[in-house]
Structure 1
Amino acid sequence: MVGGQGLRVQRSTPLHEPQTEFVPDIGRNREETQSEIALGFGDNCRAEFHGETVADIPETQQPYADLSPDRILDSLEGVGFACDGRIIALNSYENRVYQLGQEDGGFVVAKFYRPGRWSDEGIGEEHRFALELVEGELPIVPPVAVDGETLHHHAGHRFAVYPRQGGRWPELGRDEDWEMLGRFIGRIHAIGATGVFAHRQSISIKRMGREASHFVLLCDWMPPHLVQSYHAIVDRLLAAVDEAFERAEPFPRLRIHGDCHFGNVLWTDDGPHFVDLDDCVTGPAVQDLWLFLSGEREERSLQLQRLLRGYRQFHDFDYRELHLIEALRTLRMINYTAWIARRWEDPAFPKAFPWFVETKYWEEHVLALKEQAAALAEPGREGL
């Protein structure tokens, strides 16, 4: 949620979708660059595929069609924010996120939640977790409470308001930067381990692997000549993922950030600030660590060692969880494709991901899954 210069718009002016094209990389050798986009484990599965808690509001195909500048400004003014008309649409597809200028010259950031994704109770747990972390003096960007409430409703939309947080991309050029990042993640997990989520999802092979791949096969996007190959490689991968989880058991499940990567960390002279708890879930600690690792195996091993040196100062780490890194990467790869397919009727998605309908994308996706099978099968790899 990084702000920029404001553009004053008339209330009748339509807001364009974010224009930044992002082609995500979920491989081992490049850093992820998305900021607010939800690629991970919190994305919605439709009700017929799982029984976890989602919102009572039905999920519409174009959930933001009526979210005009008028409605955005009225929403914030209705809870006491004096907006001056400046609105910037920030890079977000799962939700809609806007930076709004205030009459005092400052800015706030408003997140409008996707209808049908989370229940009010689930969003409330996200907000309470953020506030718990702030109470623990962690650098989390929390929602602003108005009359004790952090989730607001207006004209059928649910939204939260956040302070604008500046910062830069984390470079982590020094060992001490990696250790500092690890310390903060360890502190997040130390607090996360003190409570449980009742209304949020858990990292699940069934939801993120089997149900996600089933949804992909039900859609018409995959070229027919790839269907059999996709089905076969996914079956093989998920069997290996099952085995990886069995090797790691028993490992603790706790409340985690869920989508902890460079794009959700803003670095300042005082260290990191964590943003976007929208994907917070129950899961293994290593999920909040492995997305920071990149490069060749030796380099990734050194990065993890540095992270864990800081992490273990505040929270224990079960090294059996290293068996989960490639398994979690596999689930993320499968789940990501299903996420785009589920959201395709939202006009923002064809604009952002036009390559999704191209045969080349699906050929490369199946090839990447086959390469991932080799990574899972490599003995002694342990995710590094």
Structure 2
Amino acid sequence: YQVGIEESDPFIVKFYRPERWSAEQVYEEHQLFFEMVEQELPVVPPLTDANGESLFSFQGFLFALFPRQGGHAPEFDNDANLLVLGRYLGRMHRIGQVRPFAHRPAIDVNTYGHTAVDLIRERYIPAEYRESYELLTEQLLSALNTIFTQLDTVRTLRVHGDCHAGNILWRNDNPHFVDFDDARMGPAIQDIWMLLSGDRQRQTVQLDTIIEGYEQFCDIDLQELRLIEPLRTLRMLHYAAWIGSRWDDPAFPVAFPWFNTTQYWGEHILQLREQLAALHEPPLTI
């Protein structure tokens, strides 16, 4: 929510939904912000009071204050912008690998896959789609488990977790990263794959450009390219479960009126079938 202040710039107040994150988990998110600010990275951190506190409570609701940040969406068809994004992501990940999160969960097949599928299957899938959904998700989770097991040596670090165009503001020729609400332990490629678009050839060029900038500040294990489609699949499963887990919140049916309709579940299953095929295709290479 934006809050106006007389003779001053307005604030953005962010309320944390009950049971979404604990205070310890939110503090870890804020700490990552502050570590990045120390290294002069263009992030939009929470404001602090005279005692250095960044998290506050009102009637049981946790909240934080952020400065309002202007900017426009980045142009991903501009290779120069992708090179800059890669450099800043490399700098962010150098900080992200300094220490792990102690309280925030990881991006993995269990939390983003099995837990998500269990919730959707038990509470939302219509009877006419249940058999298809159960068979399909069983195949998906089996494939995902196999891929992640084969790559169990991939390093995890503190990643943004939701690094797409909507969470990047372009201003003064530089990106400003916002909304670290989904920050978790995960592979570096998690913050890169959502920046890719277009056909396979175009994505390969984009990926090569981003990693060129990235590796000026941080190394990346190219084995992680094998995780792009698995991570996309997990995001799809997790996103449906994220909405479903909060469907009792009156704001969610208003914000997502298409969710939990027969048409939505039919399209969701079709998309998951496409992902099952994608999991067996050769990964992008550079």
TM-score by length of structure 1 reads 0.72
Mapped pair 1:151 → 2:74: no
Query: How far apart, CA to CA, are the structure 2 residues paired with 1:176 and 1:191?
Result: 24
Query: How far apart, CA to CA, are the structure 2 residues paired with 1:286 and 1:217?
Result: 29
User: Which residue, 238, 252, 258 being the options, matches 2:161?
Assistant: 258
Query: How far apart, CA to CA, are the structure 1 residues paired with 2:105 and 2:272?
Result: 25
Partner residue, 2:267: 364
Query: How far apart, CA to CA, are the structure 2 residues paired with 1:162 and 1:213?
Result: 34
Q: How does 1:287-366 map to 2 (within 5 A)?
A: 287-366=190-269
Mapped pair 1:269 → 2:172: yes
User: Which residue, 155, 164, 167 being the options, matches 2:68?
Assistant: 164
Partner residue, 2:283: 381
Partner residue, 1:180: 84
Partner residue, 1:222: 125
Q: Which moves more between the two structures, 154-163 or 177-186?
A: 154-163
Q: Match for 1:199: what amino acid? A: H
TM-score by length of structure 2 reads 0.97
Query: How far apart, CA to CA, are the structure 1 residues paired with 2:284 and 2:211?
Result: 15
Query: How far apart, CA to CA, are the structure 2 residues paired with 1:318 and 1:249?
Result: 12
User: Which residue, 120, 135, 145 being the options, matches 1:242?
Assistant: 145
Q: CA-to-partner distance for each residue in 1:136-184, whole Å, 9 max, x for gaps?
A: 1100100111021000112211110011111001013432211000000
- Please say if residues 258 and 280 of structure 1, whose CA atoms lie closer than 8 Å, have aligned partners that are also in contact: yes
Query: How far apart, CA to CA, are the structure 1 residues paired with 2:258 and 2:162?
Result: 24
Query: How far apart, CA to CA, are the structure 1 residues paired with 2:225 and 2:283?
Result: 9
Q: CA RMSD in A?
A: 1.3
Query: How far apart, CA to CA, are the structure 1 residues paired with 2:96 and 2:162?
Result: 15
SS in 2 for 1:112: strand
- Please say if residues 179 and 307 of structure 1, whose CA atoms lie closer than 8 Å, have aligned partners that are also in contact: yes
Change in CA separation of 1:205 and 1:216 when aligned onto 2, cut-off 3 Å: same
Q: CA-to-partner distance for each residue in 1:90-110, whole Å, 9 max, x for gaps?
A: xxxxxxxx1111111411111
- Please say if residues 186 and 310 of structure 1, whose CA atoms lie closer than 8 Å, have aligned partners that are also in contact: yes
- Please say if residues 83 and 213 of structure 2, whose CA atoms lie closer than 8 Å, have aligned partners that are also in contact: yes
SS in 1 for 2:57: strand
Partner residue, 1:16: none
Structure 2: 5+ residue stretches without partners: none
SS in 1 for 2:258: helix
Partner residue, 2:94: 190
Mapped pair 1:119 → 2:22: yes
Q: Match for 2:139: what amino acid? A: R
Query: How far apart, CA to CA, are the structure 1 residues paired with 2:277 and 2:212?
Result: 30
Change in CA separation of 1:230 and 1:179 when aligned onto 2, cut-off 3 Å: same
Deviation at 1:206, TM superposition (A): 1.0
Query: How far apart, CA to CA, are the structure 2 residues paired with 1:286 and 1:110?
Result: 30
- Please say if residues 79 and 209 of structure 2, whose CA atoms lie closer than 8 Å, have aligned partners that are also in contact: yes
SS in 2 for 1:199: coil
Structure 1: 5+ residue stretches without partners: 1-97
Partner residue, 1:108: 11
SS in 1 for 2:216: coil
Normalized per residue, which structure has more helix?
2
Q: CA-to-partner distance for each residue in 1:61-105, whole Å, 9 max, x for gaps?
A: xxxxxxxxxxxxxxxxxxxxxxxxxxxxxxxxxxxxx11111114
SS in 2 for 1:354: coil
Q: Match for 1:381: what amino acid? A: P
- Please say if residues 247 and 320 of structure 1, whose CA atoms lie closer than 8 Å, have aligned partners that are also in contact: no
Deviation at 1:383, TM superposition (A): 8.3
- Please say if residues 240 and 376 of structure 1, whose CA atoms lie closer than 8 Å, have aligned partners that are also in contact: yes
Deviation at 1:270, TM superposition (A): 3.2
Query: How far apart, CA to CA, are the structure 2 residues paired with 1:114 and 1:194?
Result: 29
Q: CA-to-partner distance for each residue in 1:40-65, whole Å, 9 max, x for gaps?
A: xxxxxxxxxxxxxxxxxxxxxxxxxx
Q: Match for 2:59: what amino acid? A: A
Query: How far apart, CA to CA, are the structure 2 residues paired with 1:202 and 1:357?
Result: 27
Query: How far apart, CA to CA, are the structure 1 residues paired with 2:77 and 2:279?
Result: 29
- Please say if residues 109 and 161 of structure 1, whose CA atoms lie closer than 8 Å, have aligned partners that are also in contact: yes
Deviation at 1:251, TM superposition (A): 0.9
Deviation at 1:349, TM superposition (A): 1.0
Deviation at 1:339, TM superposition (A): 1.1
Deviation at 1:338, TM superposition (A): 1.0
Mapped pair 1:205 → 2:97: no
Q: Which moves more between the two structures, 282-291 or 148-157?
A: 148-157
Q: Match for 2:260: what amino acid? A: V
Deviation at 1:382, TM superposition (A): 4.2
Partner residue, 1:17: none
* Residue correspondences, number: 285
